[in-house]
Chains A and B, each alone.
Chain A
C-alpha cells in the first residue's frame, strides 16, 4: 500500500519537476491551451450538457436525457432540413470542386496569358462579405424587380418564380450563390498543390505524346490526392454548416415556401433564438457534428493516406 503511494508521489514530483524545468516552453504554448479551454473545450462540453436539457435561458434547466435527440428525429421539419442541407452540400460541391480543379489546371499549365489576373479575379468573391453579397444576390433574384428576371423579360423568356410555386428554384438560387462565392477558394488551394508537382512528370508525358486531358487525369489528379482530401473535409464542414446564404436570401429563418431552403444551421438558429429552445438547438449542433465526423470518416477511407 505504502509502496503504491510512494510510487505515485514520486511520479507526481517528477511531473512537477519536469513542468518547472521546462516552464518557459510551457509558458510559450499556454496561450493556445488557455484560449482553447475557454473557447473550445468548455463550450464543447457545456453544449453537450445543454443538449440533454430543456432551457429557455431564464428559468432553470430541466434534465430530459436524450429526449431532444429522439424528438429531433421525429421532427419532420428537421428531417427536411437534413435533406436540404445534404442536397445543397453535395450538388453545390460537385461543380465547385471539379470546376476549381480544371480552373487551377488551366492556370497552372500557363495555357492562357495573364494567370495572375485570373487568379485574383476568381479569388475576389471569397473575400467579399457573405451577408453583403447575399443581399446583392437577393436583389438579382427578385421576382418583380430583380435584375435576372428583367433580362429574361427583355429576351422574351418567362421570368423565373424564384421563391414561389413548389420552391423548386430556391435550392438552385442558394447553390449558385454558394458556388460563385467559394470556387476561388478551392481553386487557389489546388493551384498551390499543383505547384508542388514537379514539371518533370509533365515533360516526360509530353515526350511520350500525352495530351492535356491525359496529363490531367493521369498525373495531376493522383498526385493531388492529399490536397483533394483536405478540400473535401473543408467542403463537408462548410456544406453542412451553410447559414449566411439561406438566411439572407430567404430574408429570415423561414426557410422559404415549403421549407425548401431551410438548412440545418438556420433551423438551429431559429429554434435557439426565436423559439427559445436552447437545449433542442444544442442537440441539432451535435447531430451536425456527428454528420461531419461520419462523412469525414468515409472521406478518409477513399482519399486517405495511401501510397501516392
Chain B
C-alpha cells in the first residue's frame, strides 16, 4: 500500500514538473495576436515622444491600443509609489526617472526583466553601461527597468548675450573660457547687469550640477563628495553668490522660466533633454540664439534619463513588454522619439543615424548631437542607494543655506556629513544589509 502511494506521488510530481518545465518556455505571441489596451504613465515630454511613435507601433501591433496618462514628474512618482504599495492603480508601462530608481530596484513591485520571456540580458551590450547598471539590483538577480534615455550634461548658453557682453561666443572659445574658475568668474562679471541680467539662476546649481548624476555614495557607503574638486566647485559658487552674480531664483520655478524667456539669464547647465524643453515650452522664440559646451569639473556628466518598467500588477504584461521593446530597443522608434523631444537614446545602435551628425538650427547650426555622444562616452560607473533622494535634499538645503548665509565651504561640507548620517541612519542600515546579502550570494 505504502509503495503504491509513493509511486503515485512520484508520478504526480514528475508529471506536474514536466508541465511546469514546459510552460516556462513561453514563446512570444505573434504581433497581431497581442491585443488589449495598455496604459502608459509618465511625465512630459514623454507623452509627446510616445505620440510620435504610436502610429508606427500600431502598424506592427494593430490590436494593442495605447493610452497615455501623464502628469508632473513628482506627482507621477508619488502615484506610482502609492499604487505599488496598494497593489492596484499603476499603469501597465511606467516611466521611472533615474532619481527614483534607487527606491525601487532592490525591492518587489516590478516585473523582473531578466526573467523569460523578456530575457533582457541579451540586450546588455546595446545599452550605455552606467545606465544599465542603475536598474540592476545589488545582487544582479533583478532588473526592473530598461533604460530609455540618458542626459548628457552640457552648458546651454545664449550666444547673443555673450556677444553683447564682449565675451567669446563661439563654442570652442567658450569652452576654453569656462575651463578654469577664473574664466567662469570673468564671464559672470562681464554678463552681470545689476537688476537686469545674470550669468545663471542660482549659484547653488553650480555645485548641484557637479553631482547631477546623484552619485553621493561609493560602494562601501562612504561619501563621494569629500574631494578637493568638490570643495573648489562650492568655492566658485560662494564667490558668485557673494558678488551678486546669480539671480537667486530657484531653477525650474515660474520666475526662472520667465527670466530665461526674457533673456535675463545667460546659461543653464543641464542634460540634453533641456534642449527639448527650450524648444517646446520654455523659450521656443529664442531659436538660433543658443550654443552648447561641456560643463567643466563634473564627475559623471549625466543628469537623469529614465527607464521604462512594468509593475508586477500589470494585467497584460506581454502587450506592455511589446510596447517597451518596440519603443526603446529599436533604432526606428528611439530616433523618432529623439527627433520629437530630444531625449538622447541610451540604446547605442540608434546613434548610427544621420540625425546625430546633423546641425541643429535651434543651436545656430551647431552639431550638438556629436558633442552629446562624446560627452556620454566619458561617464564613470554609478552607485545607486535608497538614501539618494534624502541625501540630495539634505545636501541641497545645506548648500543653499550656506550660500545664503555665507558659511565657509569647508564648514558646509563638514556639517552636512553629520546631518546626512543622522537623518539617513535607518535607511543606511537597510542598505548595508542589502549589500551584505548581495555579497554573500
Contact = CB atoms under 8 A, between A and B. Distances in A.
Given A58-B109, A144-B249, A258 B423 contact: no
B250 A251 contact: yes
A139 B248 contact: no
Interface of A: 54, 56-59, 71, 74-77, 135, 138-139, 142-146, 153, 161, 163-167, 251-255, 257-259, 270, 273-278, 280
6 contacts: A56-B103, A71-B425, A74-B422, A76-B422, A143-B255, A258-B397
Contacts of A161: 248
Contacts, number: 95
B426 interface: yes
B interface, by DSSP: helix, strand, loop or mixed?
helix
B36 to A, nearest CB: 26
B121 interface: no
B258 interface: yes
Nearest to B81: A57
Interface in B388-418: 389-390, 393, 396-397, 400-401, 404-405
Contact of A145 (B74, B255, B386, B400): B255
A58 B254 contact: no
A277 B258 CA distance: 35
Contacts of B81: 57, 273, 276
Given A138-B254, A139-B254, A143-B249, A254 B396 contact: yes
Contact of B405 (A166, A277, A280): A166
A145 B265 CA distance: 13
Contacts of B377: none
Nearest to B103: A276
Given A71-B426, A167-B404, A257-B400, 10 more contacts: A58-B85, A77-B423, A143-B255, A144-B255, A161-B248, A258-B401, A273-B78, A273-B81, A276-B389, A278-B85
Contacts of B104: 58
B247 A58 contact: no
A198 to B, nearest CB: 52
Contact of B423 (A75, A138, A163, A164): A75
B254 A164 contact: no
B84 interface: yes
Contacts of B390: 274-275
B397 A255 contact: yes
A280 B390 CA distance: 14
